[in-house]
Chains A and B, each alone.
Chain A
Amino acid sequence: MIRLFHVYKSFGSKNPALIDISLTVPKGEFVFVTGPSGAGKTTLLKIIFCAEKPTSGHALVDGRNLTRIKDGELSSLRRRIGVVFQDFKLLPRRTVFENVALSLEVMGVPPSRIRKKVHQTLRYLGLADKEGYYPPQLSGGEQQRIAIARAIVNNPLILLADEPTGNLDYDLTMEIMALLKEIHTRGTTVVVATHSQELLKGTRRRIIALHKGRMV
């Protein structure tokens, strides 16, 4: 599903953010990417969802070479990747429903189908009663669940989560992690980037550790 070959990424003259990264994440796997701040976790995720291009090397996602991707292909690829961030990235002036519907609107899904899918997803995440609320009216945990709803409403092949629990307390962290695991069981490939050792304690999942841009 995700394959990286000798990927390097540098921003200007600063120390490179990624150095010689080669990895494979098969379809349906759940992996953690870990490492201290500045290790290159976010850059790695950005390369996978094509917000950044590798300086050298190749990245393949769902069979597409990201170094040679065109704008039209890029948007269709992104519709197959759901992304969740530490700061949620929700639109504060849109309701919960509208935030989640965004993923389907960009695909040109008919409104009746959008309504159905959004209701379904919000119900699945226990947010059915929050539809008409605006994100700032909700708690951090709820906002992150809405971000997850937006990421999975169009049944993506891959779910990327960048420090999804970074702003949440322990209980909410466990809740969100349980949710990600459940999404994984439905067949979605999940990649979670985190610096939290607590999250990794006792896990039997594969852990990709980064340090100063290198895999260790």
Chain B
Amino acid sequence: MKIIFFRYFVRQAMRNMVENRLVHLIGLGTMVIAFLMFDAFILIFVNLNSWTQEQGRSLTMSIYFKGEPERAVIENIKKELLQYPVSITDFISKDDALKSLRKQLGEKAGLLDGLGENPLPASLEIILSRDVSGDSLPYELKTRLERIHGIDEVQYSQEWVEKFQAIMGAVKIIGLVFGGLLFLAALFIITNTVKLTIYSRKDEIEILKLVGATNRFVKIPFLIEGSIQGFLGGSVALIVLFLVYVAIITKVDLSIGFASLDIIFLSPQFILLLLLMSSIIGFIGSTVSLGRFFRI
């Protein structure tokens, strides 16, 4: 493309946006809403996904003892565990368990005073560090440990994680469908916005064709306009999403019982990808509406 043409196209696109600013602002507003829903959905999805993966990767196993175990028993278990890909966290004695429960209860800790004997078991927590989801290792370890004298019960989070992963599988499919629908909605909105600006400039297009402009010459400024609009819509949506994100992580406590959710914002790569996608949607939207217009 000649430089002269390119300069003309960009100038023209900018000018059109300024001249039809009302139509563009309305379009931009609707686009921001569509992109915001899409981006928010992506953010939630990415977080849930990485969280489940995290849970699946490191699996926690709790070993509960009958009474207070002797040091030798614990050392024995630790030795036994050395042959497995595990890391051992601290041993929690019966007293420690009670203390931490008191701390958790806070003001209501007085309730525990009524108990004669400490009902809480001593425990040892271990983390299986390798990706053991779908593996028989946790079960094997559990049965082996439960045979050791002094161990009451071994619990692990595997079952729960497996259930959660099954749910995530469904969420992924729903996500794909929902995300696809949101994508189409954004595309539809942009197509119509561009169509509005095209109709508002019907005379101009007619005159351009009259003085010998090629179809491409007429179309390119609209395509640039659509891409810029998509990019702007995408940027504003991301900014709004970020502000909402900051407000949520600073004001709302997101711990759900056992695990606290660390929500992370979209990575820079993801942001770039979303911006690129917004521009592409803008471009496609313009192409679609121009196609319709030039057929008329």
Instruction: Establish whether residues A108 and B5, one from each chain, have CB atoms under 8 Å apart when the complex forms.
Output: yes
Q: What string of 1s and 0s marks CB contacts (under 8 Å) between A78-118 and chain B?
A: 11000100000111010000000011011111110000000
Q: Which residue of B lies closest to A151 (CB)?
A: B211
Contact flag A106-B203 (CB < 8 Å), given A93-B19, A111-B4: no
**Stretch touching chain B among A15-23, A33-41, A69-77, A176-184:** A69-77
Q: Can you list 18 A-B pairs, Cβ within 8 angstroms, ordered by A?
A: A51-B210, A75-B209, A75-B212, A75-B213, A78-B210, A78-B211, A89-B203, A91-B203, A91-B204, A102-B207, A106-B208, A106-B214, A107-B212, A108-B2, A108-B4, A109-B4, A111-B4, A150-B211
Instruction: Establish whether residues A76 and B210, one from each chain, have CB atoms under 8 Å apart when the complex forms.
Output: no
Contacts of B215 in A (CB 8 A): 71, 75
Chain B interface mostly: helix
A106, B208: Cα distance in complex, Å: 8
Shortest CB-to-CB span from B202 to chain A, Å, is: 12
Contacts of B45 in A (CB 8 A): none
Q: Is B217 an interface residue (CB 8 A)?
A: yes
Q: How many A-B residue pairs have CB under 8 A?
A: 49
Q: Which chain B residues (1-25) contact chain A, with CB distance < 8 Å?
A: 2, 4-5, 8, 19
A residues in contact (CB < 8 Å) with B: 49, 51, 71-72, 75-79, 83, 89-91, 93, 102-103, 105-111, 150
Q: Which residue of B lies closest to A71 (CB)?
A: B215
Q: Is B206 an interface residue (CB 8 A)?
A: yes
- Most B CB atoms within 10 A — which of A49, A71, A108? A108
Q: Which residue of B lies closest to A153 (CB)?
A: B211
Instruction: Establish whether residues A79 and B212, one from each chain, have CB atoms under 8 Å apart when the complex forms.
Output: yes
Contacts of B2 in A (CB 8 A): 108
Instruction: Establish whether residues A71 and B214, one from each chain, have CB atoms under 8 Å apart when the complex forms.
Output: yes
Q: Which residue of A lies closest to B12 (CB)?
A: A105
A83, B206: Cα distance in complex, Å: 12
Q: What string of 1s and 0s marks CB contacts (under 8 Å) between B63-103 and chain A?
A: 00000000000000000000000000000000000000000
Shortest CB-to-CB span from A147 to chain B, Å, is: 10
Contacts of B211 in A (CB 8 A): 78-79, 102-103, 106, 150
- The one of A78, A89, A91, A93 in contact with B212, judged by C-beta atoms closer than 8 angstroms, is A78
Instruction: Establish whether residues A103 and B212, one from each chain, have CB atoms under 8 Å apart when the complex forms.
Output: yes
Instruction: Establish whether residues B210 and A89, one from each chain, have CB atoms under 8 Å apart when the complex forms.
Output: yes
Instruction: Establish whether residues A106 and B4, one from each chain, have CB atoms under 8 Å apart when the complex forms.
Output: no
- Ranked nearest first, the 5 interchain pairs of A and B with the lowest CB-CB distance are A79-B212, A78-B212, A106-B213, A103-B211, A75-B214
A77, B210: Cα distance in complex, Å: 10
A49, B211: Cα distance in complex, Å: 10
Contacts of B214 in A (CB 8 A): 71-72, 75, 106
A120, B19: Cα distance in complex, Å: 29
A83, B211: Cα distance in complex, Å: 8
Q: Which residue of A lies closest to B218 (CB)?
A: A106
Contacts of B204 in A (CB 8 A): 91
A91, B203: Cα distance in complex, Å: 8
Q: Which chain B residues (170-226) contact chain A, with CB distance < 8 Å?
A: 203-204, 206-215, 217
Contacts of A51 in B (CB 8 A): 210
A107, B2: Cα distance in complex, Å: 11
A72, B204: Cα distance in complex, Å: 19
Instruction: Establish whether residues A76 and B5, one from each chain, have CB atoms under 8 Å apart when the complex forms.
Output: no
- The one of B5, B207, B213, B217 in contact with A91, judged by C-beta atoms closer than 8 angstroms, is B207
Q: Which residue of A lies closest to B8 (CB)?
A: A105
